[in-house]
A = this chain, B = another copy of it.
Amino acid sequence: MKIYPINGIKLSSVFSGMYKKKRLDLSIVEIGSGSSVSGVFTKNKARSDAVNISQNNLKKANPKYLVVNSGNANSGTGENGYKDIIKYSKKLSKDSGCNMKDILVFSTGIIGERINANKIIKSIPSLLKNLNKDKWLDFSYSILTTDKINKVVSKRIKLGSELVTITGVAKGSGMIRPNMATMLSFVATDMKIDKTSLSKMHKNLSEKSYNMISVDGETSTNDSSVLITTNNTKTSYKKLSLKNKKYFYESLESIYIELAKKIVKDGEGATKFVTINVSKTNSSNNAKYIAMSIANSPLVKTALFAEDPNWGRILSAIGNIDTKVKDLSKVEIYIGNFLVFKNNKVSNKYKENKVKKYLKNKNIEINVNYNTGKYKATVWTTDLSYEYIKINAEYRTWFK
């Protein structure tokens, strides 16, 4: 897949020594002047000072540099964690000539252990020297932790006479993750968008993508999503025709959804990619809660792993959600296109062996129709396998 650079964005990555094994583990991203940056951050109260500092700086200034490391999350590290960030930010500020408040920092990896600021400090000169607009691929590798594959999506679209580019990377292994499910996402475009619209757009995009993948409520201490525009197009988003506005927004949305799906597909121990569509509910939130209840049920997940059409577990997951719909008699449950439950009981048309065969596919759909309203939601998730336990039981051996 072609990765299009974004005018105004330069990147570089190195091995700074956070891991035992040699691999890219530290990047900086340089953001050209005139750019706008929006951030969405974890709500976890035990969050890293990296998140606190980035969120504060975003309020004060237009960021010029992102510093992103993997291997150490710098969370649960108290005042030392804060001091360490200041220490390496000072070095970057000095060497690049930017202000401290122009730097955002992102960390993912093991938590509770002090980050080695000196390793970052030592790497800054070469990182600055090697900044290059074509280094998105290196960047995508440098942020990985337990991920098996890197995650990049890039698109160039034509809006009238202009070419607009969107490129993004993400990390995270989806479902329920070691070291607390850290999800990082960095997406950039050259489309001219005012800061207020950018923030609003970013919030909506996160809601429809990263908030729609099953992380079983375990928001990490470090989850962060950054959306950058370098504002390099002639026409601004606001002045686009309705049709082109929609085209741009949907292109950007598809980048987010593709990155989110890549995270799920890389889910720890995942053997299935599961799409859960809940439709015709009485509110949008309810549609999401119902889909998430199914997605997060270990019973549903283990049945999917076993390729066992145990639809009763889906029914129970639905029954547990307080949707104010007391009567489930209108609810229909489909596995793929197979109707399994209707009128409060197993469907007359239900053939277990057919559904069993369908469940042998890698991509599975569960469709639930509430028939009580007009709202819907789609959530993506994985099954729960032996491999998941293995990965999460052995995680810390990677570092010691």
CB distance from A124 to the nearest CB of B (A): 26
Cβ-defined contact, B78 with A320, below 8 A = no
Contact of A345 with B180 in the complex, beta carbons under 8 Å = no
Chain B contacts of A396 at CB under 8 A?
308, 310
How far, in Å, is A299 (CB) from chain B's closest CB? 6
Copies of this chain, tallied across the complex: 2
Would A299 and B112 be within 8 Å (CB), given that A46-B316, A75-B312 are in contact? no
Interface residues of A in 172-188 (CB under 8 A from B): 176-181
B78 near A345 with CB under 8 A, answer yes
Give chain B residues whose Cβ lies under 8 Å from the Cβ of A56.
none
Classify chain A: how many residues form its interface, as a range: 35 or more
Pick from B47, B75, B312: contact of A111, CB under 8 Å? B312
A-B CB proximity, top 3 nearest: A78-B345, A46-B319, A306-B393
Given contact pairs A179-B312, A316-B220, A78 touches B343 in the complex (Cβ within 8 A): yes
Partner of A180, one of B181, B217, B316, B390: B316
Q: Is A326 an interface residue (CB 8 A)?
A: yes
- Known interface pairs A76-B315, A112-B311, A345-B76; A302-B392 also in contact (CB < 8 Å): yes
> Which of A190-198, A232-240, A372-380, A381-389 lies at the binding interface?
A381-389
Q: Cβ of A177: which chain B residues have Cβ within 8 Å of it?
A: 299
| Bound form: Cα–Cα A299–B312 in Å | 26
Residue A80 is within 8 A (CB to CB) of chain B in the complex: yes
Q: Contacts of A78 on B, CB cut-off 8 Å?
A: 343-346
